[in-house]
Structure 1
């Protein structure tokens, strides 16, 4: 058999450690799919390119490994941009590989090839971490290795590789690729900055910690727990940092960041250590957070250091920083923080609103889902509730709030289910509006017999947008019969109710393959405080 350039792609991916590839075929990428067919890499074929990008994102988040995504030229490549935007916002290491028109049409020649773009790579430069261009087969292993290294180096994130059709399909004399060096660069903190952080934390009378997604991605939960206990410091988790700190720990402030009581509590710290967070609008209660003491910000993305608040900025991987700083922190007696009092005030605020349906629904889902099963949440009202109120336990919680795009949850859960290979169920939660984006992936889940349960909350439209509008317009939607539609794909489906949701979810999550639960219900958000309303309107 004549070896072609695409064989080098597949061999390099395998040598780098890939085992699963997501994607959608297309004319210019057929050489790549021929090579995949001849390999033992697992290919999960999605039904649209946006869903393929979301699935690769979900797989990468669950495994913590770089996940390949392969698509064709022009429209196929461009349709991945929304998924890559979410991946870069959430630091998810996706390796996108697209074909390109034949080499003789590049360089501004405009020969009129199908899917031709004047500068395809330009569409990706402001979205992904790095773009890598291949023009000969000999360049393929080096380009993929460098892209892999870029994706896996903190801050992790998506990258893009472009390879012309003729390079993929043409013969190559390069020998089979067996070993590739793509070790990520380690991002350690400067010693003098660690020393300064230790000095501030040791002297603090009321230290606190805000843990972001960087802690979870670094697998630094144990180091964070050890540091918090030595300091006696309360820990709040950002929405992207769910699972960074034990939910029920006496020092846990949980994730009520959209609550004035939590905002004011964090502001009362004389030293606030922010680890793995850029302190964006969601982590600071839409900019209403006003720190009263010193802020230490540890962030792998240098562009985010002190971008929103004055801080001692430390450019480092969260895990590298925490494992180093905890060595130098002495256990000291400090007044016990009133974390229980804060959580009681948060609870009292919710008790003062008519929110029993929302709270009971979330509790029913939590009861049904096994502790070690991951959950994926769309931009829907129940998802917004979950940001603050969901205990992720050991399974982890994943959301699309990095860039806030609709339709992410189910395709991402499909990617996670592919990684778990049926060992435990995966949960996706969408509203009916978001569900319409990913319905085609029911075919993917059915074809690959993936163990994923999709809860669709049917409230008749874009429910969260209704919350933001004085007079809703453009939010009311005609929907299909989701139960009948799922069954038409050969997927088991149940029409549920708030009273029967827990048992319906338990039964669906126990299924060997995909399942759908449809819950007709209209939820509402907890009301913001006066200060938050005032800030948002100005």
Structure 2
């Protein structure tokens, strides 16, 4: 290739220039044959850092983790067919958890599109259709001049409330062909704000002011909208207790006198929420995990505030307000009358938490509680954590104090393998250590990403709780059928395997876990701590 050809701008340049102009600074993904024009353009765009994963679904989880931590749209770059399809399970998590990932994939050359079956490598009858039921929106490019506008529209879709993944596909020949346009610099994809309607805010304020015992359930929408300060202001003005969902654990301070924390699988908390004469549900659809497995039955009036129109009244009748959580909370806090201090309310909150503690104390779960306490003690308050679908992660949903950094898990869609790659994505944007937590089953989904951690020197400590199988499924099957089937796993020596990647690793015990984990977190770069332990779940209380 001549020097002039190597330096010529292409459709791939239009794509990466658009991403940089929109504010992207880090992208994730894996190269592929049809996407080479896109990846070649990255070397001419120094403003965009690229973190290369080893498997496409893990690249999508990494983009998800980066977007959760930063709140920014995060690009994901992959190739056609198998590469693109491998991202689907991860994008389902991003959609369920309202995470703004912007996927860009290549397509077969234009001659193979539109129903033609030319037999190109990676060819699909309709790649776009495969994504339509998973992401918020799909955007198809067929000519280079369409690239900036298509990416900007996808960015706006991903960022707009409720946030979520969007998908763009660009044919191979368009990525490799001439740009035909000057470098991209004037592009805007700011979404329109989703503000609450005045009459609905007025009615919600009237209901809350008239309530004898108002209560708030805060979900992930509060955290995503950065509505923590507005929530605290409203709760303190109303003297309203606040429970948080598993996806919104950092929405309200764990140690606040009005905090009911996150024990949503406990009947004491469910009963308390049901007894509210006005319950404001903010940023939650009251789905399975937020409603104690659909056993929640509110007795009073429900106010539901959510950016996702489809979630309003999906499970219970309510005064539905389709709006950004932070903006609505701020409006309500300005309108409701401030109440005086009420020691009876804080005593009720403390009493509910005491009841939860007494129930747990009778279940013989000292090991599990000690392990979670050791992790909490070892992790700096400002260090984010990313939890896989594992027993310790299930404990963390209810019992983890998120402190300054919050916690993130795959509870939106419930797929395995989220913890490590999502933490790697977050580490690309975080100054300091990041914690990933997996079981041995989930760890095998993402073990290849230790190479990514080492290559990019990402400051992630990975805690692997090795119980010899799919521990939570073992418990579910034993409880349902009396014994478990096909849950036991052959697995590697995780410490030796980590060392083979050049990643420091230590085999710990429950007694040494706090010190081993603290030491790993204090050392720069990636590390692994393996804890052989069989943990049990607490017994939830769904029924009265």
- Paired residue for 1:399? 409
Per-residue deviation, residues 40-98 of structure 1 (Å, max 9, x unmatched) = 11010000000000000000000000000000000000000011000000000000000
SS at match of 1:208: strand
How far apart are the structure 2 equivalents of 1:424 and 1:396? 15
Compute the displacement of 1:324 (Å).
1.0
Compute the displacement of 1:139 (Å).
0.3
- Paired residue for 2:435? 427
> Which residues in structure 2 correspond to 1:440-455 (within 5 Å)?
440-455=448-463
Per-residue deviation, residues 145-201 of structure 1 (Å, max 9, x unmatched) = 111111111000000000000000001220000121111110011111101000000
Q: Does 1:298 align with 2:298?
A: no
Q: Does 1:16 align with 2:22?
A: yes
How far apart are the structure 2 equivalents of 1:99 and 1:398? 30
- Paired residue for 1:224? 231
Compute the displacement of 1:336 (Å).
2.3
Q: Does 1:370 align with 2:377?
A: no
The counterpart of 1:336, out of the listed 345, 358, 366, is: 345
SS at match of 1:336: helix
SS at match of 1:372: coil
Compute the displacement of 1:392 (Å).
0.6
SS at match of 1:97: strand
The counterpart of 1:411, out of the listed 409, 421, 425, is: 421
How far apart are the structure 1 equivalents of 2:209 and 2:253? 23
> Which residues in structure 2 correspond to 1:153-172 (within 5 Å)?
153-172=160-179
Q: Does 1:277 align with 2:292?
A: no
Q: Does 1:510 align with 2:519?
A: no
Equivalent pair of 2:213/2:278 in contact (CA under 8 Å):
yes
SS at match of 2:290: coil
The counterpart of 2:465, out of the listed 454, 457, 462, is: 457
Per-residue deviation, residues 496-528 of structure 1 (Å, max 9, x unmatched) = 000000000010001111000000000001112
The counterpart of 1:5, out of the listed 1, 7, 11, is: 11
How far apart are the structure 2 equivalents of 1:179 and 1:71? 25
How far apart are the structure 1 equivalents of 2:543 and 2:260? 21
- Paired residue for 2:206? 199
- Paired residue for 2:4? none
Compute the displacement of 1:5 (Å).
0.4
How far apart are the structure 1 equivalents of 2:174 and 2:298? 55
The counterpart of 1:522, out of the listed 511, 514, 534, is: 534
The counterpart of 2:219, out of the listed 212, 227, 235, is: 212
SS at match of 1:357: helix
How far apart are the structure 1 equivalents of 2:487 and 2:75? 35
SS at match of 2:174: helix
How far apart are the structure 1 equivalents of 2:108 and 2:464? 40
SS at match of 1:59: helix
Call closer, same or farther: CA 1:376–1:152 in 2, change over 3 Å: same
How far apart are the structure 2 equivalents of 1:9 and 1:187? 28
- Paired residue for 1:536? none
- Paired residue for 2:446? 438
Compute the displacement of 1:37 (Å).
1.6
Larger CA deviation: 322-331 vs 44-53:
322-331
Per-residue deviation, residues 438-477 of structure 1 (Å, max 9, x unmatched) = 0000000000000000000000000000111131001000
Deviating beyond 6 angstroms after TM superposition, the runs of 4 or more aligned structure 1 residues are none
Per-residue deviation, residues 318-343 of structure 1 (Å, max 9, x unmatched) = 01101111110111246524100000
Q: Does 1:38 align with 2:44?
A: yes
How many positions carry a matched residue from both structures?
Answer: 530
Equivalent pair of 2:241/2:345 in contact (CA under 8 Å):
no
Q: Does 1:131 align with 2:138?
A: yes
> Which residues in structure 2 correspond to 1:227-238 (within 5 Å)?
227-238=234-245
Compute the displacement of 1:315 (Å).
0.4
Equivalent pair of 2:11/2:179 in contact (CA under 8 Å):
yes
How far apart are the structure 2 equivalents of 1:14 and 1:315? 32
SS at match of 1:395: coil
Q: What TM-score do you get using the length of structure 1 for normalisation?
A: 0.98
Q: Does 1:348 align with 2:358?
A: yes
Q: Does 1:387 align with 2:393?
A: no
SS at match of 2:445: coil
How far apart are the structure 1 equivalents of 2:508 and 2:65? 26
SS at match of 1:436: helix
SS at match of 1:519: strand
Q: Does 1:314 align with 2:321?
A: yes
SS at match of 2:289: coil
Equivalent pair of 2:245/2:290 in contact (CA under 8 Å):
yes
- Paired residue for 2:103? 96
How far apart are the structure 2 equivalents of 1:181 and 1:38? 22
Compute the displacement of 1:530 (Å).
6.7
Equivalent pair of 2:62/2:423 in contact (CA under 8 Å):
yes
Larger CA deviation: 330-339 vs 165-174:
330-339
SS at match of 1:127: coil
How far apart are the structure 1 equivalents of 2:43 and 2:469? 41
Equivalent pair of 2:292/2:542 in contact (CA under 8 Å):
no
SS at match of 1:186: coil
Structure 1: state its 5+ residue gaps.
533-538
- Paired residue for 2:511? 499
